[in-house]
Amino acid sequence: MKKKILIISAVVLVVILLVLRFTVFGERLSTITLDINPSIELKVNKKDEVKSVKALNEDAKEIVDFKFNNMKLDEVVGVIADNVVEKGYVKEDEVTILVHNSYSANNEKVKDIVNKKFTEKEIATNVIVVENISKEDEKLAKKYNISPAKAAYVNQIKKENEDISTENLIEKDVRELDNIKETGNYCDPGYTLRGNECFKEISKEPASKGNVCPRGYYEYEGKCYEEVGIEEKEEFICADGFSLKEDKCVLTEIIDSEIEYKCTTGELMKKGDVNPIGSKDNDKYYCIDKSTGKAPTLRCLTNSGHIMIGGVCYNGPAPLINGGCPGNDVAVNGWCYSKDTYDQYVCPDGNIYEKSKNTYVSLCPDTFTYTEPEIKGYKCSDGFKLEDKKCIREDIQDALHERYCKDGYTLVNNDRCINMNNTIEKQDGYVCNKEGSILEDNMCINYEILESKHS
């Protein structure tokens, strides 16, 4: 009898504890995470009342530093949006946010709230909903101290891009992760992906105060014009000379390959390399055997007064002075002759060479033996590929969508749409005086910029 009483008492105790679990001690809460970098966790009851707000990383601590007692979910998200914008986590008036709700049926509801609150601040939003969290995601989140939603998104990207390390992805914010997932482009650790380029901060300094165009206006030729976003057509276009192949622009360059010759006897040389006077086939390759070469014959100038004495040409005559000749001059038949500096040498082919003109040769080129070389193969310069005796090189670029502006706006610099009829005066603001600096949040930043990699 006592056993039965004890069992019944235990069952009653369990029932009481369960009742207290959902009444006195607490209520069933859903967990909502918002990842931008910062990463934030909210606990929300079924009445959309926020019961706790937690910073999941260092960046989030200054974002969640507010009282949320008795605040509804949309109010808390509104405050978070205010703080995210104020603290400079929104770049270029755009924000990408990763959303997960442990009660997945409410994911779209949370997405709509986030969209609304950032749109009210004129911030374009890209809200990505993570539906399911696996045990593998939870394990990764715990290892790297990130939200399970971000871990799930990292695992999705990793499966599609095996070349990128998990550690590299962990350090990226959600906007960059989304860019990697969409394009397959990525950067090495320490660099941030922006479009197709990787940015690494080199230096940073406070911006100077100056006159600038206000938000929504673009400076063009010294004036501030109203600006709107640029539009893009669905079709891809390529620059002149390029051909469109799928989503790539290809420029094919084809040139003749260079013949590689070989010689069984003699030395492979161009004919012009051995003959300073040259010939009609100056650039033609021959196998040149110099062993048959003969020396040219000395020839004195044919002008009057030039004579040869002992195999040396002399120039004269000049009168004797005091019965003799000055210096190294030679006396011949009562006249003085000086050594000729314009000696000429003639070869069997009739070509004349002169030391004074730097054309002198020790052996006559026409007495060498010239034979046709054998063809060993064909080669191309670096960057070219040999195909059927031709050198081929392809320049491949990403194809771009044709850009245009909506009615009333003019395309300038191929990346801005401005209203030429709507101008405004410059206002006090911040400027960067150092060339190459980029203004961000009242700071002038210099970046090292590299092309992104592609998985």
Structure tokens, 107: 């994911």
**For the purposes of burial, counting CB atoms within 10 Å of the CB of 453, is it exposed (0-12), middle (13-18) or buried (19 or more)?**
middle
How far is 380 from 430, CA to CA, in rounded Å?
53
How far is 180 from 194, CA to CA, in rounded Å?
10
How far is 183 from 451, CA to CA, in rounded Å?
14
* DSSP state for residue 271 in the 8-state scheme: G
State pLDDT tens for residues 275-321.
877 667 888 999 999 999 999 988 887 767 788 887 888 888 888 88
- Smallest CA-to-CA distance from 368 within 261, 281, 292 is with 292
Residue 61 predicted with pLDDT over 70: yes
Return the bridge partners of 260, or none: 377
Neighbours of 287 (CB within 10 A): 19
State pLDDT tens for residues 80-114.
999 888 888 887 778 889 888 888 667 888 889 99
State pLDDT tens for residues 166-190.
999 998 899 999 989 888 889 998 8
Q: Hunting for tokens 């946010």 — which residue is that? A: 97
Q: For 310-404, list the strands marked E by DSSP.
A: 312-319, 330-332, 335-339, 344-346, 352-354, 369-371, 374-379, 385-387, 390-398, 400-404
